[in-house]
Amino acid sequence: MLNYYWPSKYDIPSFHLDQYLQMQALRYAPKKTHPSLVSLSGLMRLLATKKNIICRLLQQLDAELLKENPTLQDLHALYRSLFPDDPLSGVAPQDKTWRWTDKMKPQTLLGLLELSAKLRGTTQTEFNRILREASECS
């Protein structure tokens, strides 16, 4: 307790014991569950109840449609996190990972990379490495 709750210069507590106990009661009080966790729990429950339908849907997908649609990729990832079987075992979901730079024009990407390199003060070799990695993605 001395390490955390005595901020005074002369080791005199700047609050009373009842204030300390009230602070701890608020700290350890049960907290409200975030709405996103409630939504995720509902989605996982729905996925578990409709497993067969979703499995059939995923089996009907081809590689091109899956590559274009991040929502279907998320559905597949959620399915794989809940169930061990993979309905897309014959289809490669992604040959390479999707990156936000995939759909950028080369001039825009080059401008962003140059600006980033200037702001971070990186060397020319690191800038060239980043540019090479980005060009391999397209």
Q: Please state the domain extents for the chain.
A: 35-82, 106-137
Q: Report pTM.
A: 0.48
Question: What are the tens digits of pLDDT across the range 45-59?
Answer: 898 899 999 888 888
pLDDT at 138 over 50: no
Q: What is the structure's pLDDT at 9? A: 62
DSSP string for residues in 97-137: ---TTTTS-HHHHHHHHHHHHHHHT--HHHHHHHHHHHHHH
> Lowest mean pLDDT: which of 10-14, 63-67, 92-96, 124-128?
92-96
